[in-house]
């Protein structure tokens, strides 16, 4: 039975990350030119692999199955990392027919490396790592900044209000990230907690929750075709799950409240 806390904790990570990496495969696949046949085939293979691993994770009932899925997921995630870095390298020095910017890939590598770090730690310690709040904020606030920027490029020019709102979030997350960098430097004093950090955590919580509301609106608009542009419902849905995961991880190590959401729920593609 799955009543071991460490087994339940790593299963939660698998259910979130395997679906997230399956999304990444879909985003890469849909943004490759038809000319990039080899890359398209590789992207599709990763979609298949991570969908299968996710399905297997949802059926896990015994702890020994956790060990097996963790080993397989670790290897597959490393291979996906190499593929992303291969695409990033081509973006930087080779001719290519990619319809996504290099920073799009770079942020996906950042996320994947977080999953690999969690899996490595679990393999060695049979538990999840306890990380300082700023570890999560440096990763996920920067990611939220990238989300806001990606949305901007997907809105039709006539969607001026949506563009304005997304641009506001972009600026706010950029400022919050810059502040996180400075606060992280303060940790060299040996202090792990101080009033300004608690205030910062609360600021992040407020802004991420506001962004989640915006993403819910976008998912609805682009599901009903009321929104104009190139955004598909999976994009805000993917972002919603990531912001939810971020707040959960932050709530485990700070004064932030546990959010009322589930980052492991099935993806919504419209």
- Between CA 72 and CA 70 the distance in angstroms is 6
User: For 138-189, how does the pLDDT look when each residue is reduced to its tens digit (9 = 90+)?
Assistant: 999 999 999 999 999 999 999 999 999 999 999 999 999 999 999 999 999 9
End-to-end CA gap in the chain: 35
In 3D, which of 185, 122, 121, 173 has the Cα closest to residue 144? Answer: 173
What contacts 24+ positions apart, CB below 8 Å, involve 125-131? Answer: 126/6, 127/6, 127/9, 128/6, 128/9, 128/10, 128/13, 130/253, 131/249, 131/253
- Between CA 107 and CA 103 the distance in angstroms is 6
Ordered by start, the domain boundaries in the chain are 1-129, 130-270
CATH of domain 130-270: 1.20.1260.120
Query: Cα separations (Å) of 109 from 78, 80, 88, 127?
Result: 10, 9, 10, 23
Other C-beta atoms lying within 10 Å of the C-beta of residue 204: 26
Query: Cα separations (Å) of 184 from 63, 132, 178?
Result: 37, 10, 10
Architecture of the domain delimited by 1-129: Up-down Bundle (1.20)
Percent of the chain with pLDDT over 90: 91
Residue 1 has pLDDT above 70, yes or no: no
User: For 22-33, how does the pLDDT look when each residue is reduced to its tens digit (9 = 90+)?
Assistant: 999 999 999 999
Planar angle of CA 75, 140, 174, nearest 5 degrees: 140
Whether the domain at 1-129 and the domain at 130-270 fall into the same CATH topology: yes
With a threshold of 0.85, does the pTM exceed it? yes
User: For 176-235, how does the pLDDT look when each residue is reduced to its tens digit (9 = 90+)?
Assistant: 999 999 999 999 999 999 999 999 999 999 999 999 999 999 999 999 999 999 999 999
The DSSP element (H or E) to which 89 belongs, if any, is helix 63-93
Strand, helix or coil at 194? coil
User: For 84-133, how does the pLDDT look when each residue is reduced to its tens digit (9 = 90+)?
Assistant: 999 999 999 998 888 899 999 999 999 999 999 999 999 888 889 999 99
């Amino acid at each position: 039975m799955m009543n071991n806390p460490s087994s339940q904790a790593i299963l939660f990570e698998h259910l979130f990350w395997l679906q997230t990496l399956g999304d990444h495969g879909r985003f890469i696949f849909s943004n490759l030119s038809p000319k990039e046949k080899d890359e398209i085939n590789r992207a599709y293979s990763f979609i298949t692999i991570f969908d299968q691993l996710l399905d297997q994770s949802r059926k896990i009932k015994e702890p020994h199955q956790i060990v097996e899925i963790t080993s397989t997921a670790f290897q597959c995630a490393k291979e996906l990392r190499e593929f992303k870095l291969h695409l990033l390298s081509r973006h930087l020095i080779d001719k290519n027919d990619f319809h996504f910017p290099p920073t799009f890939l770079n942020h996906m590598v950042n996320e994947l490396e977080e999953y690999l770090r969690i899996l490595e730690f679990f393999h060695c310690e049979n538990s999840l790592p306890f990380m300082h709040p700023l570890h999560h904020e440096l990763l996920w606030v920067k990611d939220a900044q990238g989300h806001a920027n990606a949305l901007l490029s997907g809105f039709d020019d006539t969607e001026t209000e949506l563009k304005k709102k997304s641009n506001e979030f972009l600026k706010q997350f950029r400022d919050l990230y810059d502040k996180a960098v400075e606060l992280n430097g303060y940790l060299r004093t040996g202090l792990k907690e101080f009033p300004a950090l608690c205030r910062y955590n609360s600021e992040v919580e407020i802004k991420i929750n506001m962004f989640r509301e915006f993403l819910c609106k976008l998912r609805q608009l682009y599901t009903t075709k009321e929104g104009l542009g190139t955004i598909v419902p999976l994009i805000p849905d993917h972002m919603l799950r990531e912001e939810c995961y971020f707040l959960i991880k932050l709530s485990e190590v700070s004064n932030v409240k546990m959010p009322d959401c589930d980052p492991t729920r099935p993806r919504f593609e419209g």
